[in-house]
Structure 1
Amino acid sequence: MTSGKEKLKVFQDEFMCAVCLDLLKDPVAIQCGHSYCKICITDCWDQEDQKRVYSCPQCRQTFSPRPALARNTMLAEVVEKLKKTRLSADCDAGAGDVQCDVCTGRKYKAVKSCLVCLESYCQTHFERHEEFHSHKPHKVTEATGRLQEMICQKHEKLLEVFCRTDKKCICMLCTIIEHKNHDIVPVADQRTEKQVFKINHQVNTKLEPKNLDQI
């Protein structure tokens, strides 16, 4: 039987941004119908400014000129209510849980990790983090114990682009130095392409006859 927490997880997945993989923040809907955090889609399109052709990170539909972004007020209200009902209130960190890096003494379970500060936070400390950085929001993700794997070991920057030439995730400084003139795409683009390839492979596999005797 599905628990209330599992049902909430399925429900909140419908309101996740496909770029940062977190609940939508300041959501905007683009012409194809997909929604993103305003800061996420803005960052994606900033990287496409030179081509003057802008695409949806999910369906790849293109737009030109660059579309204006308007806040989806109704969606923002739904997401805000969802945040308030999330079963992510502070609780003691158990075995296998990511601990809050700010808590002293009694450690609470982390609910978010900041990819800029390289720290994980319980609900209380995450809210303080968001308030402190409200002038310039940091990139955050669901609590993870693998923060170091998401950071470039050479430049200590977020691995936010994928080098198709060398088939590895790299940071923006890497694109200027070691990977100059390589085939570079945003990590979100590479992730979406892999998902599409996987789906197509699964569909084609199901359509293939098991053997000639069954035809």
Structure 2
Amino acid sequence: CVCVCVCVCVCVLSGCLVTQEGCASLASALSSNPSHLRKLDLSYNHPGDSGAALLSAGLEDPLWRLDTISVEHGGVWRLKPALKKYACDLTLDPNTAHRRLSLSEDNRKVTLVREGQSYPDHPDRFDSWYQVLGREALTGRCYWEVEWEGEVYIGVTYRGITRRGRGGDSRLGLNNKSWGLVCSDGRYSALYNGTATALPPPPAGSTRVGVYLDRPAGSLSFYRVSPGGGGSSDTLTHLHTFCSSFTQEDLLPGVGVGGRGSASLCRF
């Protein structure tokens, strides 16, 4: 990890696996060697209560000259390697699910079924496309993985996507409110605003996709996830990245399912 210092005033250590012990060392260094540092960004790390308190106390020390310390989005899971440090716990929202979609495994798995489900009427429910959205809004940096089977659309959409009718304005990837990755046996394709980009086909048996949203940076990336052998970490192979300002309303994860399809939000 690289500490980025701008004009000797800002130090960015976001997502750099900083622990409680690391915060203690950092506080000691700042105390013994006062600098012109004015802002310290430790978001997406694991300072813990003690580390955050130790550094926050430095705001009262005139020798530190610090004005701002950021420790948002912290937690022990931020110490996981690579993108998994940004892992988020997501579930599917039954109020958005098409009636031909069955939710199971604590609303983490969706399966296309023959018989309509007895969901109550709801204005957020898709009435034509076999789709469902996530319950939790996506903020900051988020990473999640989806295990898929059959034909599946994995995507991200603004909350305001149309839920009625069979037009492109309500389908993941067929409008300017959503972005998607189409997964099926033998093919991947990226989809935005009705334009499909063919991608290298997945190898046989590859059925897991990682999704990384960096909303501040304006990027949405998809990866093929291959399990590591011998206890090693999973391997992520980049598939496609969309770039957008993402400045509008809430963003939500979304899943669309085709024939004999199912998708599961993976637990970390």
Q: Relative contact order, CA 8 A, sep 6+: which one is greater?
A: 2
Greater gyration radius: 2
Per residue, is there more strand in 1 or in 2? 2
Per residue, is there more helix in 1 or in 2? 1
Q: Same fold (TM over 0.5)?
A: no
TM range (shorter): under 0.3
TM-score by length of 1: 0.22
TM-score by length of 2: 0.19
